[in-house]
Amino acid sequence: MHAAGQVAHFALARPATPAKLLLGLNALLDDDIRVLALRPARADFHARFSATGKEYRYFIWNDAVLPPPVRAYRWLVRPPLDLGAMQRAAAKLVGRRDFAAFTANPNRAVDGTVRHLRALHVSRRGREVVLRVRGDGFLYKMVRSLAGFLVRVGVGELPPESARTLLAAQQRTAVVPTAPPQGLFLWRVFY
């Protein structure tokens, strides 16, 4: 997974200007990681526990050949995708639902498998298909599982209506594949 909108918090032992701190942090980080902005936060702020929701985006390259510059950031799906079928299936997944069928590790300890999926948009621009997924929280590999399921619908292996059947079953099966990590981005965290 990649992150365009990751948020972190920390406390400083002594004051520092944001500009100087930004330069110092980026000098210490690996070249693949960059701090883009710094903001003061309340003392009780926690990057994980203060979040009210997240948006993930999953990128699919729908063509015969994946261009090398995007190979680490896109899932190559060669067969043509039926965007309408994917959109119909996505609409059936939106809402407060039990997503047990869309978690890759059903034995992982969590506080239930009900989540509120606020939006699941499927769009195309040229050869790129983008899934925009917003919710109050996500289960382990849930977004990648949603992507894998929607691609199966898009290539005609499953009907859009199978979304309801999977949700009702509340059990993970091989019907829902986990999409590869390359296409997944944490896009934004809401507070």
What does the pLDDT look like over 111-147, one tens digit per residue?
Answer: 899 999 999 999 999 999 999 999 999 999 999 999 9
Q: Which CATH class is domain 53-190?
A: alpha beta
Give pLDDT, residue 104. Answer: 87
**Nearest-angstrom CA–CA distance, 164 and 172:** 13
Q: How far is CA 20 from CA 1, 5, 33, in A?
A: 29, 21, 17
Rounded average pLDDT over 79-104: 97
Mean pLDDT rounded to a whole number for the chain: 94
Burial 130-154 (b: 16+ CB within 10 A, else e): ebebbbeebbebbbbbbbbbbbbbb
Pair of tokens at residue 65: 């050949």
Q: How far is CA 12 from CA 16, 33, 43, in A?
A: 8, 21, 11
Q: What percent of the chain has pLDDT over 90?
A: 84
pTM of the predicted protein model = 0.90
Instruction: Delimit the domains of the chain by residue range.
Output: 1-50, 53-190
Give pLDDT, residue 5. Answer: 87
- Three-state SS for 23-89 is HHHHHHCCCCCCCCCCCCCCCCCCCCCCCCEEEEEEEEECCCCCCHHHCCCCEECCCCCCHHHHHHH
